[in-house]
Each structure stands twice: as C-alpha cells, then as structure tokens.
Amino acid sequence: MKLIDTLPAACVAVACAVGAVVYASRPRAKPEPPAVTIAAPELGRLKAGDRIAGWNVAAMTREKDGAIAVTMSRDAMEFTLTIAPLGLRAENPPYATKTHAMYYGHTKPPDARIPDGAMRAITAELVRRMGPDGEGFRQQ
C-alpha cells in the first residue's frame, strides 16, 4: 500500500465528514419575520400582541392591494385573516360586513384544523372593534 494511493482520498473523506457534521448541526430554520404593527383604523385599536377569543395577534401587515392581513396564532398553529374593503377583491368572501370582506386561510401547518367556533368568536370580536359601521360580519 502506497500512501499516495490512500492519503488524498482520506483527506477528502475527513473534510467531507467534518463538513457534513458541521452543516448538519447548523440550524436551518428561517427566522420568522418580525411582527409588524400597522395603522389599521378599520380594525379599531387592534395591534400585534393583542388577544382575540383566545388567539394571539402575531402580526399585522398591509398587503399590496390595501387589504390587512392579520396573523392569528395559538400554540403551534397559525392562520391568517385578510380584511379588505368590500369590492376590493373579485372573489366573494365567506364573511362580510356592509363595508368589509373577510377571508381566511394560510394555515400553518397547512393541514392544521381551525377549531370549531374560532372563526365565529374572532369575527364577532373584530366586529365589536370595527364599530357601528361594521354592523356585524355575516356569513355569505
């Protein structure tokens, strides 16, 4: 056995093995974007950190078309409520007031189940915060 026949491959083996261990031990989870507090007069004084019907308002962002996306979280689950002025989006929403439409989705994990009654309780609270113009979300 000649050293020249084994040493280069051995060096590659060690380098790759060390590299594999180092990279495998690095956390790869992408950091969550920080919660953004936006001015949303439509939703009263709602802000990131509030609690609605037992759910945390994890983030609030203004989308490109002007709709407000409210990320609700509880335990390891998240979903997003999108509140848009009625008529802003072509799709008919599952909930609406006289002035606003509300969509929901973007569940994390995607197959997480939104508990029974959560939507009803959250929409009721939002209506209360939206004031008299809302006149109550109604289910379409």
Residues that bind another protein (CB under 8 A): 1-2, 4-6, 8-10, 12-17, 19-20, 23-24, 28, 90-94, 103-107, 110-114, 116, 140
43 contacts 53 by C-beta, under 8 angstroms: no
The CA dihedral of 107, 113, 117, 122, to the nearest 10 degrees, is -10
DSSP of 76-90: TEEEEEEEEETTSSS
86 contacts 99 by C-beta, under 8 angstroms: yes
Which one, 16 or 124, has the nearer CB to another protein? 16
> Closest separation between CB of residue 132 and another protein, Å?
26
> Closest separation between CB of residue 82 and another protein, Å?
8
Which one, 41 or 76, has the nearer CB to another protein? 76
Which one, 21 or 41, has the nearer CB to another protein? 21
> Closest separation between CB of residue 94 and another protein, Å?
5
Q: Which residues contact 21 (CB under 8 A, 6 or more apart)?
A: none
